Amino acid sequence: MFVKGVGMTKFGFQEESSRNTIYESVMEALNDAKMSMREIDAVVVSSIEIMSNGERQKHSASMISSLLQIKAPILDVPAGCAGGGTALWTAIKLLKNSSHKNILVIGFDKIVATTTKIITEEILRGGERIYEQAEGMIFPAQNALVAQQYMLKYGATSDDFALVAYKNHQNAFLNPKARFYRKKITMEEIKNSTVVASPLRLFDCSISCNGASSLILSKEPSDIEIIGSAEISDCLSPFEREEMTSLEATKKAAELAYKEADVTPSQIDIAEIHDAFTPLEIISYEDLGFCSPGEGKELIRNGTTKIDGKLPVNTSGGLKAKGHPISPTGIAQVYEIVKQMRGQAGARQIKTPRIGLAHNLGGAGSVATVHILKNLN
Partner 1 sequence: MIIRWICEKCSKKWIYPIEKCIYCKGPVTKQKGTQMKVIGFTKVTIPSPTHPIIPYNILLLQDEFGNRLPKKTMKDYKIGDVYTEKKSESDDAVAIIKVKYDIFEAIKDALGLLKDVKFDSEEKILIKPSIIAAAYPYQAVNVNPDMLDALIAVLFEYGIKKENVIVAEQALIGSSAADAASKSGALEVCKKRGVAFADISKGPFEKVECDGYEFSIYKEALHRKIINVPIMKTNFQLGISGALENLTRLVDEKTQRDMYYKGLGNILPKLVKALPDVFTIADATNGMQGLGPLASGEPAFLNLIFAGRNAAALDSIFCEISMIKIPPYVKAAGSGINPKKIEVVGNEIDALKNPIKPANPEETPHSDIKVVDYGACPACLNLMYNLTSKMIGLRGSELYVLIGSQFDGKVLEGGERIVAIGDCAIKKMEELKINTIAKIPENLDMVEQIVLMKKLLTTEGTPKITSVDKVKSKMTKLLSRAVR
Among 77, 81, 106, 141, binds partner 1 (CB under 8 A): 141
How many positions of this chain bind partner 1 (CB under 8 A)? 34
Distance in angstroms (rounded) separating the CA atoms of residues 376 and 54: 43
Which positions are annotated as active-site residues?
A: 81, 324
Q: Pick the closer one to partner 1 by CB: 123 or 355.
A: 123
- Within 23-120, strands assigned E span 42-46, 74-76, 102-110
The answer to the question of residue 154 lying near partner 1 (CB under 8 A) is no
Q: Tell me if 243 contacts partner 1 by CB under 8 A.
A: no
Tell me which residues in 208-237 interact with partner 1 (CB under 8 A): 237
How many of the other CB atoms lie within 10 Å of CB of 125? 12
Encoded amino acid at 268, one letter: I
Question: Which of 240, 243, 262, 295: binder of partner 1 (CB under 8 A)?
Answer: 240
What is the rounded distance in angstroms from the CA atom of residue 65 to the CA atom of residue 109? 17
Binders of partner 1 in range 169-198 (CB under 8 A): 194-198
What's the residue count for the chain? 377
**Phi, psi dihedral angles at 233 (to 5 degrees):** -105, 145
Cβ-based nearer residue to partner 1, 114 or 267: 114
Q: Which of 262, 311, 294, 50 is nearest to 155 (CA)?
A: 294
- Asked if 114 touches partner 1 (CB under 8 A), the answer is no
113 binds partner 1 (CB under 8 A): no
The count of other CB atoms within 10 Å of the CB of residue 14 is 15
Q: Which stretch binds partner 1 (CB under 8 A): 14-22, 128-136, 333-341, 344-352?
A: 128-136
Coil, strand, or helix at residue 250?
helix
Among 112-120, 265-273, 287-295, 323-331, the segment contacting partner 1 (CB under 8 A): 112-120
Q: Which of 368, 363, 332, 91 is nearest to 254 (CA)?
A: 368
Shortest distance, CB of residue 124 to partner 1, whole angstroms?
A: 6
Interacting residues toward partner 1 by CB under 8 A:
116-118, 120-121, 124, 128, 130-138, 140-141, 144-145, 148-149, 152, 194-200, 237, 239-240, 244
